[in-house]
Amino acid sequence: MSKTNSTFGRNLDLKAKAAGGAYLVDVPSKSTSMKRSTVANGLRKSTGSSLTADLSMSGKLNKSATELASIEAEYIKNLQQQIYFLELESGYLREQARKATDMHPQMTAEAEKMLAKLREMQSAMDKMDVELKRKDSSIGVHTNEKRKLEELLQLEKDGRQRDKRLLTEELVTLKKEKDRLEREVTRKDEQVAEAKTELDSSALALKNADTKITTLRAQLEQRIEQHNLTQLALEEKRSELLSVEAQLRDTEERYVASTVTIQDKLTQDLRDEIRLLHQKVKESELAAEKDRFLRDKISDDMANLVQENAALSQNKLEIAKQLEREKELRDSTSHRHSQTLQEVTTLKEKLQENDFLREQLRQEQDKSRQYLEQLTNQESTSKTVELSFNTAKSRMVELEGMRSATESENAQLRKDKTLLVDHVADLQRKMEDKDREVLDLRSNISDLEARLRNVDLQKSLELTQQSQRWEEFSRLADSMKNLSQTMMTQTSAASNSPRLTMPQQY
């Protein structure tokens, strides 16, 4: 029985090794080998429990001598059945070991292919590392350029804001100056209008004064002419008076010489004539007085006219001075107006320059916007590169995981298959030489997955067959267990009757 158990254990070891080899070919076979190991352990435990039950039953058979032979026969038969089943299992395990041995070249080829693919993946990973480093350096260069452009853009913005603020302040100052100049021009225009009105009134007054002076001059000339005529008449009257006085003296002399009669008559006549002459003299004196009065009046009028003429001349001078001042004011106003126009022209030029600067600012803003768009595109490109970099990193992690899994499988292969240690070391060297060819594995993943699916299908078929066989073994074990229970029941029933003493040897 111990020999049977050792044989069963060796068969289980061969079975486990075969299962380990299958695991090196395909990962899902590990669970299948574990399942077979579990079923084998269960069968061994059931066999051990049945043997224990048989031993206990043999102890009880010491009390029964009549049934000992039949029980021994049943027990031997049971052992023979177990040995037969174990031999069947040993043959099956030998067949599985032979199949596993036959599968070693195929496993080696599969391992070489997998190592070649892993080398390709490693090469692709190295290329991706180089590409990622290049992309990192490009991203660093673009980042530095972006930072420099942002600094230049910020400086340009600050300069534009400062220029804009200065231009705005200058524009506000110019607007205030323009408003002040417009108010000054309006005030000067009002003053010019008032001066024009006053000048017109002064010109009208001067014209009226000239007309009055002309009239007064005409009157003065008439008075002078009349005075001259009066003087001429007075001279004539004086000459007449002198002639009359001479005649009077002649008449007095004739009177003295004539007779008394004639003298009286003549005296009366002369008295009359003298009275008339005195009357004429009085009239002449009155006329002379009147002429003197008229002369004085004319002199006064002339003095008044001279004063008025002097006043008018003074007014004319003042008006001329005022006209000169108004002319100077007009000249200064026109000069200021020209200065204002020049300032307005300068302001317009500054406004045009401001518009030009605004246009340049808008162009600079457009350029800044284009720079920002370029920076955004570069950022999106950088993000895309970073995304591809992260994807490549994740892919590298996956490939590293796959490589680590492959290395663990290789380690497990080295542990389980001591005969393939040198070959696996060679494969490991080949894998290290071909690690740069990892990228080509992406194109062969679909083929590998198809082959893995085929292998999984084959393994599933084999597992189905093995599960069927193990189900048969389980049914046999259940039948043996039922038989043992039946024997135990019979033994317990037989223990109720008297028994003979059984031999000590079994």
3-state SS assignment for residue 24: helix
Instruction: Please enumerate in sequence order all residues whose Cβ is within 8 A of that of 92, keeping only pairs 6 or more positions apart, or say none.
Output: 469
Residue-level length of the chain: 506
Q: Are 24 and 110 in contact (CB under 8 A)?
A: no
Q: How many CB atoms lie within 10 A of CB 341?
A: 13
**Distance separating alpha carbons of residues 394 and 385, to the nearest angstrom:** 14
Q: Output the tens digit of pLDDT for each of the chain's 506 residues.
A: 444 444 444 444 444 444 443 333 333 344 444 444 454 455 455 555 554 555 455 455 455 566 677 777 787 888 888 888 888 877 887 787 777 666 666 666 776 777 777 677 777 777 877 877 777 777 777 777 767 777 877 787 787 778 778 777 877 777 787 777 778 777 777 876 776 677 677 667 767 767 777 777 777 777 777 767 776 776 776 777 677 767 767 766 765 665 556 656 666 766 676 677 667 767 767 776 776 777 677 677 777 767 776 777 777 677 777 767 767 776 776 676 677 667 666 766 766 766 676 676 677 667 666 766 766 666 666 566 567 666 666 666 776 767 666 667 666 666 665 665 566 566 667 666 666 665 666 666 666 667 767 767 876 787 777 677 777 766 766 776 677 677 677 666 666 654 444 444 33
- DSSP string computed for 445-458: HHHHHHHHHHHHHH
What pLDDT sits at residue 236?
Answer: 77
Question: Which domains, and CATH codes, for the chain?
Answer: 2-143+385-494 (no CATH), 157-380 (1.10.287.2610)
N- to C-terminal Cα separation, the chain = 13
Cα distances from 129 to residues 17, 121, 402, 406, in angstroms, run 40, 12, 17, 21
* Residues 6 or more apart in contact with residue 335 via CB below 8 angstroms: none
Q: How far is CA 109 from CA 150, 414, 424, in A?
A: 59, 16, 11
Q: Tell me, what's the pLDDT at 277?
A: 67
Is this structure's pTM higher than 0.75? no
| Rounded Cα–Cα distance for residues 334 and 330 (Å) | 6
The answer to whether residues 416 and 17 touch, using CB atoms and an 8 Å cutoff, is: yes
| Cβ atoms within 10 Å, residue 78 | 18
**Which pLDDT score, from 0 to 100, does residue 31 have?**
40
- What is the reported pLDDT for 494? 61
pLDDT (0 to 100) of residue 197: 76
Judge whether 437 and 114 are in contact, CB under 8 Å.
Answer: no
Return d(Cα 15, Cα 36) in angstroms, integer: 8
- The C-alpha R_g of the chain, in whole angstroms, comes to 78
Task: Match 């007014």 to its residue by tokens.
Answer: 315
- Structure tokens that stand for 233 in this block: 């008449």
CA-CA-CA-CA torsion sign (415, 416, 422, 423):
negative
Single-letter residue type at 218:
A
Residue 346 contacts by C-beta under 8 Å, 6 or more apart in sequence? Answer: none
For 480, residues 6+ apart whose C-beta sits below 8 A from its C-beta are: 46, 47, 50, 78, 81, 82
**What stretches of 26-67 show up as alpha helix (H) in DSSP?**
29-60
Q: How far apart are CA 94 and CA 99, in angstroms?
A: 8
CB-based contacts of 498, cutoff 8 Å, min separation 6? 63
Q: Can you tell me the distance from the alpha carbon of 374 to that of 30, in angstroms, rounded to the nearest whole number?
A: 56
Q: In this structure, are residues 481 and 46 in contact, taking their beta carbons and an 8 Å threshold?
A: yes
pLDDT confidence of residue 314: 76
Of the candidates 281, 301, 279, the residue with the CA atom closest to the CA atom of residue 293:
301
